[in-house]
Structure 1
């Protein structure tokens, strides 16, 4: 399955509370993603909470765009990536 980085901008900052309500929001997004065969691996959030870099496995960029619309999330850029880690050369 291809892997992608999705870059997003939240001009007012990302506001997901760190409690049960926030966990429920994240689970709804993950459940919706599953409808199109997309898996949200994890996200990185900038210190000011205005940018996120989300790692997804999915069939194609169009599925990611469709799910962003369904989940009410912006997309700035989608980049297909591969993994490079310190163990690559062993």
Structure 2
């Protein structure tokens, strides 16, 4: 299944509380997407999330249902390693 990076922009310190993770994961399961992990900016107004999903549409549907922004969704082809080698996205 393809991997995607989602850029989420928040109007203020609006990062979803940890307690919401189970509900988000339930919605993700229903939309057939998997949240792998996220990075959070120092000002807590932006996050970059790695997801596994069948399509951009599935990611956007899950985000709408969870009340989360999904400002930029980019499908990934692989990772460029410090050696310059192209590696699989995960693994």
**Which TM class, normalised by the smaller chain length?**
0.7 to 0.9
1:66-81 paired onto structure 2 within 5 Å: 66-81=61-76
User: Any unmatched runs of 5+ in structure 2?
Assistant: 87-91
Partner of 1:32: 27
Structure 1 runs of 4+ off > 2 angstroms?
14-17, 82-89
Number of aligned residues: 85
TM-score under structure 1 normalisation? Answer: 0.83
TM-score under structure 2 normalisation? Answer: 0.82
Query: CA RMSD of the aligned region, Å?
Result: 2.0
Larger RCO, structure (CA 8 Å, separation 6 or more): 1
User: Any unmatched runs of 5+ in structure 1?
Assistant: none
